[in-house]
Chains A and B, each alone.
Chain A
């Protein structure tokens, strides 16, 4: 059973924020939108492309797992619309 099935919103948010902080520390500034065990990264223009690096991607996945997320995805923002994506709650 996923740990997120019994977790409250506050705890889910806390884990998302911790993941965001850890990712920022490795050069991937983002907001993290938690959706149960899925973490969706909302990034500014140009940041998603950094994750084309396989090593960085694997490190990001490991950080997500540490916070209990089984899935990690990066939102593909429209041109010029990335900042709007990051400002979503």
Chain B
């Protein structure tokens, strides 16, 4: 192993020790659990530090939560002996959320924590945590305000865990999520001001599944622009997918999911792409 990899492993292991100390100081924790890279690692780390009876992973299910991610969440929990509670959340019925303003995530997370925090308390879990990591702090993330308002802690961020370090420890612990691409909720594919509906979210989910079935494993999004699906692929995959035969395969897959027109983004995937489109953040 290279010295750089060694350094990463050591740094990540030290932070895992700090995380375990943080968790033991609280005794019992409930985790907002999506099955993404961060919350999956946090759930497993908490299970190891506190034992099965003192950890509760809570999934908030809604139309904006991809079915495949739910399956991953359940698989991780089952494999590592993490107790799960599933709750239905209903952000779609909040017109402030459905209108899809730039701070949409605030309304979604408010709905999530308003249901999750009391459910945790009823079961004897006074401390509620989420998977926010150190890289997330400072970006445009209105959902974090909702977490603050509900006293939800972010231990990964508090001990300085970066995404790279979380992936390193996830790999060491055998989590299937260690190289999973980041997977924000499906509503993030809709430009601000385009209303969020269950039908649009299902369309996006079908299109992304169709692209994955072509063998695309890296970062990828299908962004919704009314009749046009704008596909963002990892920049190093663009050359391949612009070749005539591949491009037609890609187009046909997305059309089969229900989009009339398909366009391939020429810069490729970028996190928060629609924030840039609307001038919320810069490129």
A contact set with B: CB distance below 8 Å: 1-3, 5, 35-38, 40-41, 46, 48-49, 51-54, 57, 60-61, 70-79
Contact = CB atoms under 8 A, between A and B. Distances in A.
A6 to B, nearest CB: 10
Interface of B: 191, 225, 228, 230, 238-240, 242-244, 247-248, 250-251, 255, 261-267, 273, 276-279, 283
Dominant secondary structure at the B interface: mixed
Given A73-B266, A74-B264, A2 B279 contact: yes
A71 B225 CA distance: 12
A3 B248 CA distance: 34
Given A49-B244, A49-B247, A72 B265 contact: yes
A5 B276 contact: no
Contacts, number: 87
B54 to A, nearest CB: 47
A18 B94 CA distance: 42
A38 B224 CA distance: 12
B228 A75 contact: yes
Given A57-B266, A70-B276, A76 B225 contact: no
Nearest to B240: A52
A73 B265 contact: yes
